[in-house]
Amino acid sequence: MISELQRQGEDTLSGYQITRLEHALQAGTRAYRDGADLDWIVSALLHDIGDGLAPQNHDRFSAEVIRPYVREEVTWVIEHHGIFQMIYYAHHYGWEPDAREKFRDNIYFKSCEDFCERWDQASFDPDYPSESIEFFEPMIREVFNRKAYDPQYIQSGVVKGLPKVTE
């Protein structure tokens, strides 16, 4: 996982002033600084890990990577963040910006909406002071050392949401 993140430091995001790695570090750092739990932090860091490997369905690919180790809510958010992100750019391509509305009744809708707004869409800033991969490495190891599909971590049907932000 860590070597794939490092490799993404070589890939500049088309149309952006940052690399895929920097985008990941910004998202993870924002989650950490917001006081998010370990599931959110590691998943924010890895939410686009599938970009270079499965560009047409990177969100589902990334979700499959984390699914055995984090709660269902977080996996659902990562799996659906691609369609939720369309609200920010779909109009440039003639696509439906509100495609996410078909999930409005899902218990995890608000979590995904917040994730996209606070940690994904905001994480393309070339001047944002992110933490390093080394900072996140113990967190990544802790999550991936969990017993796969342990109900203690998966917590099906539990909505914790993102931490409240104090301004």
Q: From first to last of its 167 residues, what are the pLDDT tens digits of the chain?
A: 677 777 776 766 567 788 889 999 999 999 999 999 999 999 999 999 988 788 788 899 999 999 999 999 999 999 998 777 767 675 777 777 788 779 999 999 999 999 999 999 999 999 999 999 999 999 999 999 999 999 999 999 999 999 998 76
pTM for the full predicted model: 0.90
Pairwise CA distance, residues 82 & 112, whole Å:
10
Q: State which residues form the domain around 130.
A: 2-154
Q: Per the domain annotation, does 160 fall within a domain?
A: no
Q: Per the domain annotation, does 9 fall within a domain?
A: yes
User: For the domain that residue 144 is a member of, what is the CATH number?
Assistant: 1.10.3210.10
Q: Per the domain annotation, does 130 fall within a domain?
A: yes
Q: Per the domain annotation, does 165 fall within a domain?
A: no
| Structural domain total, the chain | 1
| Residues whose CB falls within 8 Å of the CB of residue 10, separated by 6 or more in sequence, listed in order | 19
User: Tell me, what's the pLDDT at 13?
Assistant: 59
Q: Per the domain annotation, does 135 fall within a domain?
A: yes
Q: Compute the Cα dihedral for 21, 28, 56, 16 and give only its sign.
A: negative
Q: Per the domain annotation, does 163 fall within a domain?
A: no
Q: Per the domain annotation, does 91 fall within a domain?
A: yes
60 with 79: CB under 8 angstroms?
yes
